[in-house]
Chains A and B, each alone.
Chain A
Amino acid sequence: MKQSRAYPGTCADKGTRAKVRTPPRQLTRAAQTRRTALWFVLPAVLFFLLLSAYPLLRVLWQSVRYANLVNPSISGFAGLDNFRTVLDDDDFLPALGNTALWTALSVTGEYALGLISALALNANVRGRAFFRAAIIVPWVIPIVVAGLTWTWMLTPEYGVLNLWLVQAGLIHAPIAWLGQTGTALLAVTLVNIWRSFPFYTISLLAALQAIPADLHEAAVIDGAGSWMRFRVITLPHLRVVSMTLIVIHIVWTAVNFDFIWVMTQGGPLNSSETLPIMIYRYALQNFDVGAGCALATMMMGFMASVFFMQYYGMRRIASSQAGTA
């Protein structure tokens, strides 16, 4: 653009398109750009409207209506009946508790492992590329494969982990980790941590590498030990990334269906059932779409509030950083 204005002569030589550049047509050009842009984004917008926006609205709509997948005669306005169905369900509170436990343990474990591995990868060691690749691998494979492989390692009769634990003298006899009400959820959580922490590693590593080296050097000259430097320099630099990571993963973990379904299907005796499993059960096993959508609506409300808190948290961090600078 700039060039064509500076050398109108060269432009005119190029033929027909140059005519568009005359001042009265400037507006048409902007309008043209807008039209092109609209055409270009149209497919993406259509997909978004059809596959995200419309289904979301439909969840809200169905949550206040009676709807059944196999019996179309069940219909009509339900008010808050579907919500009452969910809240009165004896499995609801345990499932809510399981979801909270599963999310809290997963995110804490993932963050801890992610931070330690990122710090180690950030150190000046040989073979970093290899270590980095090895650590990312679990995150890339299908959850089904991760879940089944760990299920195999945890089997009571032939599982290698049970054998090791017995050999190490930590347990007397092999334990059916996934078959007992007390351990099933914890075992699945461990596997989730194994698969998900690499995402933290990559993100935290990127943030660590963005910290200017002279900050650390200056601190060393001032006599700061490594713990001190970690606290005063490293941690504050990781604050924003950490917060984003944690919020995203709280939501992703709370709504995760695959892991638990693959490894325990919510059992034994519903001991590892979380809210997403309940949504599936309501809608696709009991065919009660209304109740399923009511539960989904409640989860959407929960997620919206998590994002709301994150938004304000970020603003506060931003303003406090602006204040100290």
Chain B
Amino acid sequence: MVIGKSAQRINSVVAYTVLVGFTIFCLFPFVWMLDTALKPLHEVQSLHPSLLILRPTLDNFRRVLFETSFPIYFRNSLIVAGSATILTLMIAVFCGYVLSRWPHTGIARTVGSALLLSQMIPGVLLLVPLYMLMRQFGLLSSYTGLIIVYCTFTVPLCVFMLKSFFDAVPGEIEQAAEMDGCSRTGFIYRILLPLSAPGILAAGAFAFINAWNEFMFGYVFINDDAHRTLTPGIMMFKSAHVTDWGGLMAASVLTVVPVAACFLYLQRFLIEGLASGAVKG
């Protein structure tokens, strides 16, 4: 760079200051969440809350795990988000393959723009008709209903992510496989899937995060405790009069753990994938 040394130093000082500020802004609520979760009751209810914990305790976690419905909600969320992710991948692999291999055919274009459009349709507008649809089929308060509905946002997401991963697999490999007598489906199973395994894992993790985080459909479609997922479930912890904030924050920490794990894995893909897929200039 041709920029002078002193100017460069000022620039990096400014950049550091800004970045540290943003980091504190972004991470502090998590720190506070963890901090509260580890505090005993009388410290949670202190009029002078501080980061310092005088008597750290796992009591909040114990209470959440053994005395509430939290484990049930957690299991339900695992079932629903996991199944939705698998179903989505099964659908999206083939659709993404078509969009990647024959991008200029009428089929690919129509399906591509329909999926793009469906990504833009907000859930709240579909809430009422989907609720009635689920009621009609008797799928309210069932896993199946939620799993199917979650596909409205996970399928388009995964199709476009997978398309860009498939684009990276050179066409020559497919031609070679074809000449060796490999059918199209055989190619997908035996060659394309193993080759783009990281991409499929990334798309799956992204779909899982989105399904795990979803709140509205879970809140509206599920009315019994046995099937309630985590995000609406965690809101039940907050009652109108007394809220057990220590327990609630412990539950929040546990809810974030699977997401954080996926995110750590996703990180390197997320930046490129989002930048190229979501906001194509």
B236-267 vs A: 1/0 string, CB under 8 Å?
Answer: 01100000010011001001100110010001
Least CB distance from A136 to B in Å reads 7
- Taking the complex as formed, is B226 at the interface, i.e. its CB lies under 8 A from any CB of chain A? no
- Taking the complex as formed, is A186 at the interface, i.e. its CB lies under 8 A from any CB of chain B? no
Contacts of B30 in A (CB 8 A): 137, 149
- Taking the complex as formed, is A62 at the interface, i.e. its CB lies under 8 A from any CB of chain B? yes
Cα separation A18 to B26 with both chains bound (whole Å): 60
Cα separation A205 to B276 with both chains bound (whole Å): 12
Least CB distance from A20 to B in Å reads 10
The reply to whether A158 and B181 contact each other, CB–CB distance below 8 Å, is no
The reply to whether A144 and B215 contact each other, CB–CB distance below 8 Å, is yes
Report B124-163 residues with CB < 8 Å from chain A CB: 124-133, 148-149, 151-152, 155, 159
The reply to whether B256 and A51 contact each other, CB–CB distance below 8 Å, is no
Q: Which of B132, B234, B275 contacts A148 (CB 8 A)?
A: B234
Nearest residue (CB) in B for A198 is B26
The reply to whether A52 and B181 contact each other, CB–CB distance below 8 Å, is no
Q: Which of B19, B25, B216, B238 contacts A257 (CB 8 A)?
A: B216
B2-19 vs A: 1/0 string, CB under 8 Å?
Answer: 110001000110111011
- Taking the complex as formed, is B107 at the interface, i.e. its CB lies under 8 A from any CB of chain A? yes
A204-217 vs B: 1/0 string, CB under 8 Å?
Answer: 01110000010011
- Chain B interface mostly helix, strand, loop or mixed? helix
The reply to whether A34 and B105 contact each other, CB–CB distance below 8 Å, is yes
A5-17 vs B: 1/0 string, CB under 8 Å?
Answer: 0000011001111
The reply to whether A120 and B46 contact each other, CB–CB distance below 8 Å, is no
Cα separation A322 to B23 with both chains bound (whole Å): 40
The interface stretch among B52-60, B61-69, B114-122, B194-202 is B114-122
Q: Which of B90, B105, B271, B281 contacts A132 (CB 8 A)?
A: B271
The reply to whether A37 and B279 contact each other, CB–CB distance below 8 Å, is no
Contacts of B1 in A (CB 8 A): 213, 216-217, 220
Nearest residue (CB) in B for A52 is B118
Size range of the chain A interface in the assembly:
35 or more
Q: Which of B155, B181, B184 contacts A36 (CB 8 A)?
A: B184
The reply to whether B91 and A158 contact each other, CB–CB distance below 8 Å, is no
The reply to whether A241 and B19 contact each other, CB–CB distance below 8 Å, is no
Q: Which of B149, B175, B232 contacts A51 (CB 8 A)?
A: B149
Least CB distance from A214 to B in Å reads 10
Least CB distance from A198 to B in Å reads 7
The reply to whether B91 and A11 contact each other, CB–CB distance below 8 Å, is no
The reply to whether B279 and A148 contact each other, CB–CB distance below 8 Å, is no
Contacts of B278 in A (CB 8 A): 199, 203
Nearest residue (CB) in B for A160 is B49
Q: Which of B12, B46, B124, B259 contacts A279 (CB 8 A)?
A: B124
Report B174-227 residues with CB < 8 Å from chain A CB: 175, 178-181, 184, 209, 212-213, 215-216, 219-220
- Chain A interface mostly helix, strand, loop or mixed? helix
Least CB distance from A311 to B in Å reads 12
A305-318 vs B: 1/0 string, CB under 8 Å?
Answer: 00100000000000
The reply to whether A51 and B23 contact each other, CB–CB distance below 8 Å, is no
Contacts of A220 in B (CB 8 A): 1-3
Contacts of A261 in B (CB 8 A): 215-216, 219
User: Would A144 and B231 be within 8 Å (CB), given that A43-B94, A296-B125 are in contact?
Assistant: yes
- Taking the complex as formed, is B44 at the interface, i.e. its CB lies under 8 A from any CB of chain A? yes
Contacts of B267 in A (CB 8 A): 133, 136
Cα separation A252 to B45 with both chains bound (whole Å): 36
The reply to whether B255 and A142 contact each other, CB–CB distance below 8 Å, is yes
Contacts of B90 in A (CB 8 A): 43
Given contacts A3-B179, A59-B128, A245-B279, 8 further A-B contacts (CB under 8 A): A44-B159, A62-B129, A123-B12, A138-B29, A148-B237, A217-B1, A220-B2, A257-B124
Which residue numbers of B lie inside 8 Å of A, CB to CB? Answer: 1-3, 7, 11-12, 14-16, 18-19, 22-23, 25-27, 29-30, 32-33, 36, 44-49, 90-92, 94-95, 97-98, 102, 105, 107-108, 111, 114-115, 117-118, 120-133, 148-149, 151-152, 155, 159, 175, 178-181, 184, 209, 212-213, 215-216, 219-220, 230-232, 234-235, 237-238, 245, 248-249, 252, 255-256, 259-260, 263, 267, 270-272, 274-276, 278-281
The 9 A-B residue pairs with the shortest CB-CB distance, nearest first, are A206-B275, A123-B15, A55-B129, A255-B122, A40-B94, A44-B95, A142-B213, A58-B129, A120-B18
| A/B interface sample: 24 pairs, CB < 8 A | A14-B180, A15-B181, A18-B179, A43-B91, A44-B95, A48-B115, A51-B151, A55-B126, A125-B15, A140-B213, A142-B255, A145-B231, A148-B248, A148-B252, A205-B275, A220-B1, A220-B2, A245-B279, A248-B120, A257-B123, A261-B219, A284-B128, A296-B125, A307-B120
